[in-house]
Amino acid sequence: MGFDLVLFGGTGDLAWRKLMPALFQAFRHGTLPAGGRIIAVARDTLSDEQYRRLMYERFDKVELAKRPTPDEFARFAQLLHYLRMDLSQPQDYAQLAALLQARQADTVVMYVATAPSLFTTVCEQIAAAGLNGPATRVVLEKPLGHDLASNQAINATLRRVLREDQVFRIDHYLGKPSVQNLFAMRFGNALFEPLWRRETIANIEITIAEDLGVETRGAFYDQTGALRDMIQNHALQLLCAIGMEPPINASANAIRDEKLKVLQSLKPWDEATIGQNVIRGQYAAGMVRGQPVPGYREEKGVAPDSNTETFVALRTEIMNWRWAGVPFYLRTGKRLAERSAQIMVHFRPVPHHIFKTPVDAANRLVIHLQPQDGLDLRLLAQGATQAQSVETILTPVSLNLDFAQRFGTERVGAYERLLLDVIAGRLNLFVRSDEQEEAWRWVEPILEHWRRDPTGPRPYAAGSWGPSAASAMIARDGFCWSEEV
């Protein structure tokens, strides 16, 4: 009978900011499978009706397009139920088991949206209560671990109680429409793939920039930092999507096999390359949108002498025949000049210029991830008003695909897409354990280097694009960041 989705951490930030709006959008679009039930789990003492009212109030804080009308929410609310649980108490899992077994749903999704320290406990208790049968799928949010050893420990526990195909390690960047269309562009069209190699591409930059600070997450962030929070997962997954070889088919394992090869091919770190090619920073006080904002060390929950990085820029290479010698620049940070996430593919210039062109006029492909999503191909063309007798001058033009304009209401958000994939059992857009461990293995030398480095992160003014050392790093190769063009 349909599906049961159990949401551990059902009153938390992730539940009301991302998961409930995504589930509601699927309900509104008619794509949420019929016969479903959503069971929120948390320590608060609430009735079903009280939980529904709480969610209705929280919907006022999500973006306007995702808010339900009173009539829409009344219908959606019939799917919502609440169960009080202390996740450390085995008897509470017995209550959950009784609730689920009474209905015998075709699929049971356990979404663990809790503190990472509870992942192992929850999975072990699910198994102890007999809830790890073949119909069960467990979704785990990042970060899965704090380093390689803790990630391997979590995965070892998961392997004891669940099959690999029951574990959905979610990275919502893989559910973004732009990333989906990156796969479609590369592997569904004949145009780009022959150009997708070192002979025609000069460099690739991946930027995930936020203009916000740590907000209410200071205590969590101070134990995490930008490398763990963004590079180890989101940025490396984007790099894999860009760098992977065409898979033999569209199955989950074929795709994940090729992503794993990229991670295994990343240039390894040593002390010298980390010092040259990894820049860490921490925001100081500054101005954002004309308003003064405090520095990171003045944020609530942050230690006054914290050396946690809020910015990372690094240079790496994929050491294989397709990409040898092509630098990949990854960058992420908080309190930067704007909120923007994009992949910029810089093509090499023509080998011989016969037209007059602007400086740095090579072609570029821009994959926009946020705040808008779309594809932008930047070319050179001759203006229609140019006199035929004068020297031909080429000017930049763009071929733009704006997903909001092209697909409109048909567009599916990242969490909506991924939640529907979990219910359907599709693993293509989720991360396998060996991928995750390889990513941790690659970043671990950086973490170890920073532990020994007494200098700490470089300060940068809030509202800027980070430390100047990040620009100097890319300039050594003769390139610059996209906003500096």
- What does residue 297 show for φ and ψ, rounded to 5 degrees? -70, -10
pLDDT in tens, 221-232: 999 999 999 999
Average the pLDDT over 52-72 and give the result: 89
Task: Provide the percentage of residues in the chain whose pLDDT is more than 70.
Answer: 96
Average the pLDDT over 54-75 and give the result: 89
- Residue 356 is classified by DSSP as B
Mean pLDDT of the chain: 92
- Is 50 in contact with 17 (CB distance < 8 Å)? no
Q: Which two tokens stand for residue 244?
A: 């992977």
Q: Which of 360-364, 404-408, 469-473 has the highest mean pLDDT?
A: 469-473
- Residue 246 is classified by DSSP as P
What pLDDT sits at residue 385?
59
Res. 65 pLDDT band, cuts 50 70 90:
confident
pLDDT in tens, 367-419: 999 888 888 988 888 876 555 556 778 888 888 877 767 766 556 888 999 99
Task: Provide the percentage of residues in the chain whose pLDDT is more than 90.
Answer: 75
Q: Pick the residue with more confidence: 277 or 392?
A: 277
CA distance 34 to 7: 18
pLDDT at 170 over 80: yes
Q: Which residue has the tokens 């990894």?
A: 278
pLDDT in tens, 315-355: 999 999 999 999 999 999 999 999 999 999 999 988 888 88
What pLDDT sits at residue 142?
82
Average the pLDDT over 267-294 and give the result: 95
What pLDDT sits at residue 177?
86
pLDDT at 133 over 60: yes
29 is known as an active-site residue: no
CA distance 89 to 87: 6
Q: Of these residues, 81, 172, 234, 346, which one is catalytic? A: 234
Q: How many CB atoms lie within 10 A of CB 158?
A: 23
Average the pLDDT over 189-212 and give the result: 95
What phi-psi label fits residue 432: left (phi over 0), alpha (psi between -120 and 50 degrees) or beta?
Answer: beta
